[in-house]
Amino acid sequence: MRLRLATWNINSVRLRLPLVTQFLDSLQPDVLCLQEIKCRDAEFPTSELRKRGYVHIATHGQKGYHGVAIVSRLPFHEIRRRDFCAKGDARHISVAFDAGAADASGIVLHNFYVPAGGDEPDVEINPKFGHKLDFLDELALWTAEENIAGERAILVGDLNIAPLETDVWNHKALLKVVSHTPIEVEKFTKVFNSGPWVDAMRRIVGTEEKLYTWWSYRSPNWELADKGRRLDHIWLSKKLAPSLVGMQVLREARGWLRTSDHVPVLVDLDLGQSAAPP
DNA sequence: ATGGTTGGGGTCCAA
């Protein structure tokens, strides 16, 4: 069984619903994880997505800011929503695919929207940066305690950190820019090492190659200047990693009319292979 | 070094 999974920071799902449906129609993912839906659960465009076959929908929304959702053709259960840092922020949702999802059964999927962290990488003058670091600390502890990378697990989302030198357009220029500072990369790495995770994107595109998923709205000529960062990630547990058969960053989506500043990232898994011995 | 754009909700905050 093939499973196509996508993640996309949509930056207002209601405003960009036509782009979401265009994306679903053309790329045909089985599961789409969204971040920054920027609406309450009741305002999520559930009926429009159900009409297109994505009948299984779980949301963790709030008014105006943040918010995550999982939109799926495959049935799931055990929907969980954790309030990291106990601020009432909607930044996490997870589901487990059930028996009706055939070979996807037993896979737990976590969808995150990590705080952006504000402009100044200094906790003394910028509480938002402190919040981001605290969020990562709590995430590392929790992922280890809960063993969320256990057996068959996937972690996706806008993690708002570009960890590698080739994840940003200019490593040196961005060392003091929030998203690429050493302290953030250190904490990001701790989260990654809290479980047996594999970076699916870098399994397909080598670390010597530049790879971005986000281009600022503030930079004109995004395509020509190409001042991007890889802020969005897909991690597979070691057990699932052998099933990875494809990955794409849908760079063209950044050129769509009135689009998000993030583009979708997709992976293809051949779950028939995941049962094979190592 | 600076300033640039977008979205939501409401006359500014977050990204």
Residue A28 has a pLDDT of: 98
- pLDDT of residue A273 exceeding 70, the answer is no
**Residue A201 domain-assigned?**
yes
> Per DSSP, which regions of A44-141 are E strands?
56-60, 68-72, 76-80, 92-97, 108-113
Q: CATH number, domain at A177?
A: 3.60.10.10
Closest C-alpha among A118, A234, A132, A124 to residue A183: A132
- Mean of the per-residue pLDDT values of chain A: 95
Distance of A242 CA from B8 C1′ (whole Å): 42
Residue A99 has a pLDDT of: 79
**Residue A135 domain-assigned?**
no
Residue A242 has a pLDDT of: 96
H or E element that contains A144: helix A127-146
Residue A217 has a pLDDT of: 96
Task: Write the pLDDT tens digit of every residue in A90-105.
Answer: 999 999 998 777 789 9
Percent of chain A whose predicted confidence (pLDDT) is above 90: 92
Q: A104 pairs with which residues across the strands?
A: none
Percent of chain A whose predicted confidence (pLDDT) is above 70: 98
* Residue span of the structural domain in which A59 resides: 2-113+148-184+196-270
What confidence category does residue A216 fall into, taking pLDDT thresholds of 50, 70 and 90? very high
Task: Write the pLDDT tens digit of every residue in A15-54.
Answer: 999 999 999 999 999 999 999 999 999 999 999 999 999 9
**DSSP tally for chain A: helices H, then strands E:** 6, 14
- pLDDT of residue A129 exceeding 60, the answer is yes
Task: Write the pLDDT tens digit of every residue in A136-168.
Answer: 999 999 999 999 998 999 999 999 999 999 999
Residues A203-217, mean pLDDT to the nearest whole number:
98
**Residue A160 domain-assigned?**
yes
> Which nucleotide's C1' is closest to A119 (Cα)?
B15
Distance of A65 CA from B8 C1′ (whole Å): 8
8 Å CB contact between A107 and A274:
no
**Residue A189 domain-assigned?**
no
Number of domains within chain A: 1
**Residue A180 domain-assigned?**
yes
**Residue A277 domain-assigned?**
no
Question: What residues contact A239, with CB distance under 8 A and at least 6 apart?
Answer: A151, A152, A153, A196, A274
**Residue A140 domain-assigned?**
no
**Residue A141 domain-assigned?**
no
CB atoms within 10 A of CB A78: 11
Residue A72 has a pLDDT of: 98
Residue A88 has a pLDDT of: 94
Q: Which residues of A24-51 are buried (b: 16+ CB within 10 A; e: fewer)?
A: beeeebbbbbbbbbbbebeebbbeebee
Residues A180-185, mean pLDDT to the nearest whole number:
98
Rounded Cα–Cα distance for residues A138 and A118 (Å): 19
- pLDDT of residue A276 exceeding 70, the answer is no
Task: Write the pLDDT tens digit of every residue in A50-69.
Answer: 999 999 999 999 999 999 99
CA distances from A91 to A1, A115, A225 (A): 30, 8, 31
Residue A219 has a pLDDT of: 87
Residue A102 has a pLDDT of: 76
Residue A277 has a pLDDT of: 52
For the ranges A55-59, A239-243, A272-276, the lowest mean pLDDT is seen at: A272-276
8 Å CB contact between A30 and A6:
no
Distance of A274 CA from B8 C1′ (whole Å): 43
Residue keyed to tokens 């200094």: A122
Distance of A32 CA from B15 C1′ (whole Å): 22
Q: A227 pairs with which residues across the strands?
A: none
Helix (H, G, I), strand (E, B) or coil at A25: helix
Nucleotides on chain B that have an atom closer than 7 A to a protein CB are 3-9, 14-15
Segment A170-176 long-range contacts (CB within 8 Å, at least 24 positions apart): A170/A227, A174/A229, A176/A121
Residue A274 has a pLDDT of: 46
- pLDDT of residue A275 exceeding 90, the answer is no
pTM of the model: 0.96
> Which nucleotide's C1' is closest to A158 (Cα)?
B15
Backbone angles phi, psi at A255, to 5 degrees: -90, -5
Rounded Cα–Cα distance for residues A261 and A83 (Å): 25
Rounded Cα–Cα distance for residues A263 and A214 (Å): 6
